[in-house]
Each structure stands twice: as C-alpha cells, then as structure tokens.
Amino acid sequence: MTWDSGHEITMRFRAERAPGSWFAQTFAKYWPAYRGWWLSEAISNRPSYLEAEGALAEHMPELLTSWHAALECTGGGDLEARFLSMWCPPPTVVGCAQAVRAGPKPLLVHNYDYTPRLFDGIVLHSEWCGTPVVATTDCLLGALDGLNARGLAVSLNFGGDETVGPGFGAPMVARYILETCATVADAAAVLTRIPTHMAYNFLLLDSSGAFVTVYTAPGGGVRLHDRAHCTNHQETIQWPRHARLSETVARDAALAALVADDEADETAFVEAFLNAPLYVTNYERGMGTLYTATFRPAQGRVTYQWPGLQVQQSLSAFRPGTHALRLSSAPGPLAS
C-alpha cells in the first residue's frame, strides 16, 4: 500500500478487569509480531526470566500479580514472560506531541505518532490494582497514555536520544503510574526511582491542575520541568537526524505558542493537534499521527479523535467498540 492510498488502523475499545480470556486471545493474535520485535536483536542481549521477574519485584511489585496472570494466559513461556516484563526491551523510537491546558477544567492532549503496522490499536478499561484505568496499550501490558479513577493522567513520548541503558520500556512505567499513583507528585517520585531504557518525556496532570514534564535518561536519572508541553527532544538536540525527521523543534515551537495563547479556548487548543504541524502524515517513515487523545482527569473522561471522528469514553461509562480508520493526508473514518 502506498502513502497516497492511505494507511488503515483499527481502534478497539475493550474492557477486562484483569488479564483473562480477552488478553489470551489478543496476545495469541499479536504474539508473532511481538516475538519478531523482541528477537530483532541477539537473544543474548535480552534479560533472562529471573532477571525480568527480579526487576519487576524490585521496582514494580504491585504489578507482579497482573504479570503472572498474563503469563498464565499465554501459557507461561520463557520468552513471553521476558517480553511482558518490558525489562530491557529493544530500542523503540516514536514521534508524538503533548501539552496540558491548566485551569478549573485541566486537560492533557497527546498526539501519538508512529507507524500503523506496529500499533496495538487497543484502548483498555481495566482494574488490576484496585483502581479503574483507561489506557491506550503498548505490548498489551504497557500504556502509551491514560487516566485513572484517582484523577491522574499521563502521556509519554520519545526524548530524542538513541542511547540505550538498563531499564523498563517507558510504557510499562506509565502503566505502573496509572495503577498506583494519585497525584503528579506521586508519579514524579515513581519516575525518579524507576529506570527507563531510553530517554523519554512524561507529561503528568492531575485533577487539581498540577502538572509537570519529566525527562528520563537511559538507565536512570530524571529532570523535572514546569513546561506544559514537549515533543521529541529534551534540553538540547542529541540525535540530529531524528530531530530533522520528526521536526521536533518546529512542533515544540507550535506547542509553545499554543500554550501561551490566552485567547485560544478549549476547542481551539484541541483542534490544533488535528492540524499541521502537530498532526503529521509521514506514515511511510514511521512518523504519522495515529490518534489524538484528550484526557480530562477531573471528570474521568477521555476523547479519542481523528479528523472526522470522535470517540468519547469515561471511567464510569466505558463503551466497548471497534472503529476502522484510514490515515492519509485527509484521514477519516472507514466504518464504526
């Protein structure tokens, strides 16, 4: 399929309280692609079962029960267990833009930019650790973004450094935050102690309107900033080729102007993410916008959006469903 003919994704909204029959069926479908990615480097570079379990026990003990439940669903294989831990995964490079709008009704908007063929396309309503969560999944157990019933929202993007160190894939850390944290301060403390395997930018917002951008470094180390937006670099450009490809500087400038615009109402703020330069269509090179998510943690609501289609969801009234979409220079719904 060429870019001109469009790229298709299917967004699936699903609910399962803990890993069970749905997880088992979905994992079986996705595992061949996951397995190929996990083995894209020599297996000697991947952690052992005991190392993966030990990392979870040390850094995220609250997730061990869900991890073991997921393993039961998949047959308990060694390779599957290591993959599902997301401890020291292969390098992962994405795009993305994110920003918060503070005030009495705070919101966080996230554009996720990646290649359609490597996207879960799943939004899951779950309750693994006693708190309802709605999250866009990555590798099924991880989260690209989401919100929880405690009034916390989180999103992430790549931080623009190709260096890799010992740590978790950022989506697993985002999942842990959603499962265990209630405030921005709680989540920032988690990011301070849990290492990520690459540089990532986490944007955190809670129902009080508090927010923070957290830059993580490969193998550990964080820097906290009061910036209300970020794209795909941190304080300086570390990987010029990726910076050019993702146009991170231009998109960061557009977000800075948007955040500073006191005249822009909520509608204008969100619509900016559905237009250039924030909405990108470089799907052939893995830098196309796959969805726009707007999280309202004070209301427990999220809107998934594409030009021509909106899907409203909430923690209290989650509606399972499936939506097929064509992504191109003029994206819109195929069917719903």
Please count the structural domains in the chain: 1
Average pLDDT value for residue range 92-96: 90
Predicted local confidence at residue 6, as pLDDT: 55
The answer to whether position 336 is within a domain reads no
The answer to whether position 335 is within a domain reads no
How far apart are the C-alpha atoms of 275 and 282, rounded to whole Å?
13
The answer to whether position 90 is within a domain reads yes
The answer to whether position 38 is within a domain reads yes
What mean pLDDT is reported for the chain? 93
> Does pLDDT of 195 surpass 90?
yes
The answer to whether position 255 is within a domain reads yes
The answer to whether position 262 is within a domain reads yes
The answer to whether position 189 is within a domain reads yes
Q: List strand residue ranges (DSSP E) for 115-163, in order.
A: 122-126, 133-138, 142-148, 152-158
Could you tell me if 59 and 23 are in contact, meaning their C-beta atoms sit under 8 angstroms apart?
A: no
DSSP three-state, residue 40:
coil
The answer to whether position 12 is within a domain reads yes
Half-sphere CA count of 226, side-chain side, radius 13 A: 3
CA dihedral sign of residues 16, 140, 81, 87:
negative
Condensed to tens digits (0 to 9), the pLDDT of residues 145-179 reads 999 999 999 999 999 999 999 999 999 999 999 99
Q: Is 30 exposed, middle or buried (0-12, 13-18, 19+ CB in 10 A)?
A: middle
Short-list 54, 72, 336, 102, CA closest to 229: 102
* Domain of residue 299, CATH code: 3.60.60.10
Residue 280, token pair as written in the block: 């990108």
Average pLDDT value for residue range 229-244: 96
Which domain range does residue 272 map to?
3-330
Q: Which residues of 152-174 are buried (b: 16+ CB within 10 A; e: fewer)?
A: bbbbbbbbbbeebeebbbbbbbb
